[in-house]
């Protein structure tokens, strides 16, 4: 049996450290650790990478500290439209939903699309209805609203009125969650979920539900989940590009991901990051912003999480 590994991110839109109290940062770290442990419990017992990434993302979707599910960004209309995708590296099967409004855990809906439909992507009211028919948890749209997101929307609208929207921080604008995993059978999987960006136009769809842009997994190569301005990730087919650099160009995981984050994506002047795992259990989490909520469990079974430069060990998995 081979090695197992899991890595997660909570978005490259991390607040400056002094913008919230230590108790909130500690709770964020605890939620990252809980996400990792949920995935690790599946992997350790011989479970599938696909189940592990779904479990990890569900924990992050249910946390108010990340821009996905509960705590998601608000559109310009003051409501929520959520996107997610999941991909099985063993078969290249994938599923996604975008602009859903009433499904508590969009990543579960993405998996249902993959396994219970002939589609890869279902959008809008049809995706909500599909999730309801599949028996997924349904909530009112305002279930996802938190005071922090209301304040962020008001701040961005004020910036727009003043004409200062461009210098808004990554934390004010963007955020995503994602997970990648390798199981004992050597199978890889990835999942990504987001509320998009604060003050986004209604109907906007980013990279998170798009296979190859924000999410990609292929056995024998790597699994990738990205975070940053989705329009650029789509134009660069960023997640797939990592895999292509490795499969066709012979790059290592570190070489491929650093080139995508620090050269390709950075050349557009955007904040970006990702987590990725390769077929040997190697883990990377590059980002070019102030910080990126992230964490991983690798060969030593230690839980490591971070929000800014330093990583903190949270004990054994």
Residue whose tokens read 């959520």: 82
The alpha carbon of 73 is separated from its chain's Cα centroid by a whole number of angstroms, namely 14
**Which residue among the candidates 28, 75, 176, 227 is catalytic per the annotation?**
176
Q: Compute φ and ψ for 188, nearest 5 degrees.
A: -110, 155
- Which residue, among 38, 60, 47, has the nearest Cα to 105 in the 3D structure? 60
Active site residue 176: yes
Alpha-helix runs per DSSP H in the chain: 22-44, 49-61, 106-116, 124-133, 147-162, 170-173, 230-236, 238-247, 253-258
Hey, what are 109's tokens? 């809906």
Q: 146: part of which helix (H) or strand (E)?
A: none
Sign, Cα dihedral of 71, 73, 77, 83: negative
Give the sheet arrangement for strand 121-123, strand by strand. 121-123, 94-100, 82-88, 188-194, 177-182, 5-9, 294-297, 302-306, 312-316
Neighbours of 313 (CB within 10 A): 11
Hey, what are 73's tokens? 């960004």
Q: 300: part of which helix (H) or strand (E)?
A: none
SS3 content of the chain, % helix, strand, coil (to 5): 35, 25, 40
Question: Is 89:190 a contact under the CB 8 Å cutoff?
Answer: yes
Hey, what are 174's tokens? 């963007």
Q: Compute φ and ψ for 62, nearest 5 degrees.
A: -90, 0
Q: What is the set of active-site residues?
A: 176
């Amino acid at each position: 049996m081979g090695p197992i590994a899991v890595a997660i991110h909570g978005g490259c839109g991390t607040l400056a450290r002094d913008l919230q109290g230590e108790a909130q940062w500690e709770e964020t770290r605890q939620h990252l650790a809980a996400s990792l442990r949920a995935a690790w419990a599946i992997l350790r017992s011989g479970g599938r990478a696909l189940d592990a990434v779904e479990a990890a993302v569900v924990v992050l979707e249910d946390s108010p500290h990340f821009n996905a599910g509960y705590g998601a960004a608000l559109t310009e209309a003051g409501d929520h439209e959520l996107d997610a995708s999941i991909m099985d590296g063993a078969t290249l099967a994938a599923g996604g939903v975008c602009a859903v409004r009433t499904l508590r855990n969009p990543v579960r809906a993405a998996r249902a699309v993959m396994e219970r439909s002939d589609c890869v992507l279902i959008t809008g009211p049809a995706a909500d209805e599909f999730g309801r028919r599949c028996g997924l948890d349904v909530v009112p749209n305002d279930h996802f609203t938190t005071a922090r997101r209301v304040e962020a929307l008001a701040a961005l609208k004020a910036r727009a009125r003043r004409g200062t929207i461009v210098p808004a921080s990554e934390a004010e604008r963007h955020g995503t969650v994602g997970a990648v995993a390798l199981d004992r059978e050597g199978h890889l999987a990835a999942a990504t979920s987001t509320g998009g960006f604060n003050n986004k136009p209604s109907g906007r769809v980013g990279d998170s539900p798009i296979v190859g842009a924000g999410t990609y997994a292929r056995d024998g190569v790597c699994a990738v989940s990205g975070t940053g301005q989705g329009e650029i990730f789509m134009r660069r087919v960023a997640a797939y590009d990592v895999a292509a650099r490795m499969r066709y160009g012979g790059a290592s995981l570190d070489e491929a991901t650093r080139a995508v984050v620090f050269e390709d994506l950075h050349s557009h002047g955007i904040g970006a990051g990702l987590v990725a795992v390769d077929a040997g259990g190697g883990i990377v989490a590059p980002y070019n912003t102030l910080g990126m909520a992230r964490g991983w469990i690798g060969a030593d079974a230690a839980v490591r999480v971070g929000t800014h430069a330093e990583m903190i060990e949270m004990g054994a998995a």
